[in-house]
Amino acid sequence: MQNEVTQLFQDVQGGRPVSEFSTNDLKHIFETIEGLNSGKIRVCEKTSEGWKTNEWIKKAILLYFRVQQMTVMQAGDFTYWDKIPVKQWSEEDGVRVVPHALARKGSFIEKGAILMPSYVNIGAYVGAGTMVDTWATVGSCAQIGKNVHLSGGVGIGGVLEPVQASPVIVEDNAFIGSRCIVVEGALIEEGAVLGAGVTITASTKIIDVSEGKATEYRGRVPANSVVIPGTQMKKFPAGEFGVPCALIIGKRKPSTDLKTSLTDALRDYQVSV
């Protein structure tokens, strides 16, 4: 299926209209989306060498947008006009879905996760035990690990194009505080804690100030880091002004009880969540 999808994408890039796709061509695209929807395949997977993006799956999603037709969709008394249906739920899925939570077809929510009124886009993966809190959004192709807490209003950005770009990844047991923004393929490593209002982009300076010498990262929050919003002074023609950054102020303590470890981290470092 990978080879077929890749060829179809190249054909479209070369000018072939999707209206010329055969039933068999469409089958490859639809089967890929079904694989995403069931969790059998993922846009991005962790390997011994780090996270690997499956470009062909992102290509299939882009093709899916091309071949799907706009149509009226009913959800109770509400009417929508779109081309991607939402996921349908059953008790067997084992996911708690609070009314007004929406997940698009082609996303996967693992058994044991909880969706408060929130939005999960196509290609995204949400692991078991994870809470997606009220008004949080999980963008296209974002990968959210197990036992993660995405607090109210968190924005996890989507990355569909370019197809070779890594999506936003939040690894297992991370805590993302209220109204945080994580975009542009940023990586939040396992067990990290982001205090309320932290913004992480590919270019955000993430400065570890917990030791005697500052260490700078970009696009990656190291495992178990406790992070708060910060500012760094920068000179401009009009003078010196503070620009946003993120500050690592400590490490979450290793513990078999992750909830206790998190509570201790928040209390020890006086982090707002």
pLDDT of residue 261: 62
Over the stretch 62-113, which tens digit does the pLDDT of each residue have?
Answer: 999 999 999 999 877 889 999 999 999 999 999 999 999 999 999 999 999 9
Mean pLDDT of the chain: 93
Count other Cβ atoms within 10 Å, centred on residue 33: 21
Render the chain in DSSP notation, one character per residue.
-HHHHHHHHHHHHTT--GGG--HHHHHHHHHHHHHHHHTSS-SEEEETTEEEE-HHHHHHHHHHHHHPPPEEEEETTEEEEESSPBP---GGG--EE-TT-EEBBTBEE-TT-EE-S-EE-TT-EE-TT-EE-TT-EE-TT-EE-TT-EE-TT-EE----SSTTSPPPEE-TT-EE-TT-EE-TT-EE-TT-EE-TT-EE-SS-EEEE-SSSS-EEEESEEPTTEEEEEEEEEEEETTEEEEEEEEEEEEEPPP-S-HHHHHHHHHHHHT---
pTM across the whole model: 0.93
pLDDT more than 70, % of the chain: 95
Does the pLDDT value for residue 266 go beyond 80? no
Over the stretch 36-65, which tens digit does the pLDDT of each residue have?
Answer: 999 999 999 999 999 999 999 999 999 999
- Domains defined for the chain, CATH in brackets: 2-71 (1.10.166.10), 85-269 (2.160.10.10)
pLDDT of residue 70: 97
CB contact set of 32 (below 8 Å; sequence gap of 6+): 1, 5, 41, 57, 60, 61, 64
pLDDT of residue 258: 60
Over the stretch 117-158, which tens digit does the pLDDT of each residue have?
Answer: 999 999 999 999 999 999 999 999 999 999 999 999 999 999
pLDDT of residue 43: 98
